């Protein structure tokens, strides 16, 4: 099993549009793909709370974490035309997009 972490920062004034596109288009389409297991949209705590906790302040506004059975199945999803149809609008609404992929070596209640 692997996880894909995508970090997104919206363009000015596009926060709500980006969140809607992530939730209602991109993740909705992703969730129908073979090998997809689950996903979540994460948002950071407010800066003052992170300061109080002495925690790292992320530069991104949204983190989308998706779990896949395999990297092969995730790459097959990326190669499908539907991926570009739902992800290109995400790129257009974003000022910054980056990602990483991790192996899941141990899991509980996944």
Q: What is the pLDDT of residues 55-67, one digit of tens each?
A: 999 999 999 999 9
Tell the CATH topology of 2-101: Alpha-Beta Plaits (3.30.70)
Q: Does the reported pTM lie above 0.85?
A: yes
Domain residue spans of the chain: 2-101
Q: What is the pLDDT of residues 38-90, one digit of tens each?
A: 999 999 999 999 999 999 999 999 999 999 999 999 999 999 999 999 999 99
Q: How far apart are CA 8 and CA 83, in angstroms?
A: 17
Q: How far is CA 48 from the centre of its chain?
A: 24
Using alpha carbons only, how large is the chain's radius of gyration in Å? 15
- List Cα–Cα distances, 41 to 55, 58, 64, 70, 94, in angstroms: 19, 14, 5, 20, 15
Number of Cβ within 10 Å of residue 27's Cβ equals 18
Dihedral angle sign, alpha carbons of residues 82, 31, 23, 44: negative
User: According to the model, what pLDDT value does residue 38 have?
Assistant: 97
């Amino acid at each position: 099993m692997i996880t894909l972490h995508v970090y997104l920062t919206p363009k000015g004034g596009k926060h709500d549009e980006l969140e809607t596109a992530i939730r209602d288009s991109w993740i909705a389409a992703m969730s129908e793909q073979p090998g997809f297991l689950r996903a979540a949209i994460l948002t950071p705590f407010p800066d003052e709370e992170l300061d109080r906790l002495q925690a790292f302040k992320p530069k991104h506004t949204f983190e989308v974490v998706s779990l896949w059975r395999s990297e092969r199945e995730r790459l097959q999803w990326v190669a499908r035309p539907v991926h570009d149809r739902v992800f290109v609008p995400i790129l257009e609404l974003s000022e910054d997009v980056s990602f990483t992929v991790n192996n899941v070596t141990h899991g509980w209640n996944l």
